Amino acid sequence: MKPARPLRRSKPPRWRAGLLTALLALSSLLTPPVGAQALPALGDGVEISMASERRLGDRIATGIYRDPAWLDDAVLGDYLQAIWQPLVQAALRRGDLSADLQERFAWQLFLVRDRSVNAFALPGGYLGVHTGLLAAVSSADELAAVLAHELSHVTQRHIARMFTQQQNLAPWMMAAMILGVMAASRSPDAASAAIVGSQAVAAQGQLNFSRDMEREADRVGFGILLEAGFGSEGAAAMFEKLQQASRFSDNGAFPYLRSHPLTSERIAEARTRQQSGSAGAAARAGLPSLARHAMMGGRARVLGDSSPDALQMRLAQANELRADAAPEQRLSVLYAATLAAARLRQAPLARDLLGQLMAQASGQPQAGQAARLLAIEVDALLGDVGQAASRVSWSSPVTRADLLVQGQVLVLAGRPEQASERLQSWVSAHPRDAGAWALLAQALHAQGQRAQAVRAEAESQAAQFDYQGAVDRLKAAQDLLRSGRSGVAPANLHIESSIVDTRARQMQTLLREQMLQERTNR
């Protein structure tokens, strides 16, 4: 079961030719030629301001939110945040991330439904992670090594520094190019027409930061990795995994190899750092366990490719699972097979596999919590909403996965009031959570609170930079309030009207600014 989403999307097309090609083009345009000036020191020659870089990132993010490959999965999202947030805090403690940069940038992860092994950094503190990367890495340490490296590209402002090195292309031209190629991803034959410049077309296989930038991201990222409590072996293990993959013919499954080319020097440095650095047990407390990582890898494989053939393959892997398989392998395979069976509506098999998974996860708190949430999803997918609702049990503190998975079940079970109170608290603290706003809208509609539900829909649109959609929904809320069909108690009518009117004015201002930027940069 997936949390409600504010926008309806068609079946995803092949996405890799879109944003990835755009990023290939962007970096090829920005990569300095052989013999170019060495990497400037941090703060030297960075001409694009933080505010401009953030606006550039916001504009690119607007396009990503509208791409069918964007995946808002609360369970995988919580797992990524359990790795990402310790890295961000470690960067702050070390001084690699300034308080000013932390405040001005988004620091937001995008999860992309794509089987290829890839991650990418964008302007303004946005980072993307493919489901294929989650499925390929063997531990949270390996995934943390990748995220720490990408985080370092942002904290060291490598994208802004590349803009400085290529001054003949304005930043907004870069954004237009990226967004154009993302739109062309639905028609791959037209992609080349959307890329600005023959150099970008000719360099479609070269997504490179400069070598100096890669070395700096390696060095800074490794320090952040250790400070956050992750194992030093994560970086070396990831390099070794990529090196092994590079020995095979390039079939497009490892675009990270092209964006971060391996050299013997970088691999040797990673292995040297592994020997010289280690994280203590105290620092690792609270980080994702190997069991949880294994289960999330299984989930990523299913969500990365949910075609019937792929789901059947997950079931076959469970049938072939050996009795002497490692515990983590069993957890990963059983998790994926359980979710696959539920999506195929094979109820007896799904419940049998779920029983095996819960027995395997018994005694492991993180694995047990992941199995419990999966059990709720399985019940809901199989149509047993009552059984799913009986499993609801709130953690402390409430996680986003708890909230969206269990909240959806409570709405379906006719208990929306039990979900809406927690959702209201959540969106007050996380006002840019589009999925939570959308589920709150469902819960409010179920309670007959029409105007408040439509306002929540508007907030969901605004969180995805769809200010036109937000304005339209707020106008609908105003109409409901004037018609007397709002569902708002008479005593609260004035307060709700004031909130809606204020937000409508704010959204109209943001919409005008957005339209002006688009006209200016055409």
Please enumerate in sequence order all residues whose Cβ is within 8 A of that of 517, keeping only pairs 6 or more positions apart, or say none. Answer: 55, 59, 172
High-pLDDT (> 90) share of the chain, %: 58
Amino acid at 458: A
Dist. CA 194–CA 179, nearest whole Å: 9
- pLDDT of the residue at 256: 56
Residue with the bigger pLDDT between 22 and 211: it is: 211
pLDDT surpasses 90 at 278 = no
Mean predicted confidence (pLDDT) in 257-276: 64
Cα–Cα distance between 404 and 237 in angstroms, integer?
A: 34
Is residue 515 within 8 Å of 467, Cβ to Cβ? no
- What residue segments make up the domains of the chain, in order of their start? 19-29+39-280, 289-383
Exposure class string for 178-189: b at 16+ Cβ within 10 A, else e: bbbbbbbbbeee
Better pLDDT: 340 or 41: 340
Max alpha carbon distance in the chain (Å)?
72
- CB-CB contact of 435 with 4 (8 Å): yes
Provide the percentage of residues in the chain whose pLDDT is more than 70. 74
Structural contact between residues 507 and 473, judged by C-beta atoms closer than 8 angstroms: no
Q: For residue range 294-331, what is the model confidence (pLDDT) as tens digits?
A: 999 999 999 999 999 999 999 999 999 998 999 999 99
pLDDT digits (tens, 9 = 90+) for 358-370: 999 999 999 999 9
d(CA 119, CA 132): 9
**Exposed, middle or buried, 433 (CB in 10 Å: 0-12/13-18/19+)?**
buried
Instruction: Dump pLDDT digits (tens) for 207-262.
Output: 346 778 888 888 899 999 999 999 888 887 887 777 666 554 445 565 555 556 56
Confidence of residue 24 (pLDDT cuts 50, 70, 90): very low
pLDDT of residue 67: 85
148, pLDDT greater than 90: yes
| Predicted confidence (pLDDT) per residue in 345-391, tens digit | 999 999 999 999 999 999 999 999 999 999 999 999 999 999 999 99
Going by pLDDT thresholds of 50, 70 and 90, the confidence category of residue 195 is very low
Tell me what pLDDT residue 196 has: 39
> What residues contact residue 442 under an 8 Å CB cut-off, 6+ apart?
4, 408, 411, 416, 453
- Residue 172: the pLDDT is 54
Measured CA to CA in angstroms, residue 287 lies from 77, 84, 140, 149, 283 at distances of 15, 10, 8, 18, 9
H/E stretch holding 176: helix 171-184
Q: Which residue has the higher pLDDT, 229 or 63?
A: 229
pLDDT of residue 83: 96
Give the chain's mean pLDDT. 81
Residue 322 CB burial class (10 angstroms; 0-12, 13-18, ≥19): exposed
Query: What is the structure's pLDDT at 174?
Result: 58
pLDDT at 288 over 50: yes
Residue 121 confidence (pLDDT) above 80:
yes
pLDDT of 178 higher than 60: no
Higher pLDDT, residue 492 or 260: 492
pLDDT at 36: 33
Please indicate whether residue 183 or residue 413 has the higher confidence score (pLDDT).
413
pLDDT category at 456 given cuts 50, 70, 90 is: very high
In sequence order, which ranges of 31-130 are alpha helices (DSSP H)?
50-65, 74-94, 99-104
pLDDT average, residue stretch 41-59:
71
Give the mean pLDDT of 57-73: 89
- Asked if residue 447 has pLDDT above 70, the reply is yes
Average pLDDT over residues 445-465: 97
Arithmetic mean of pLDDT, 285-292: 88
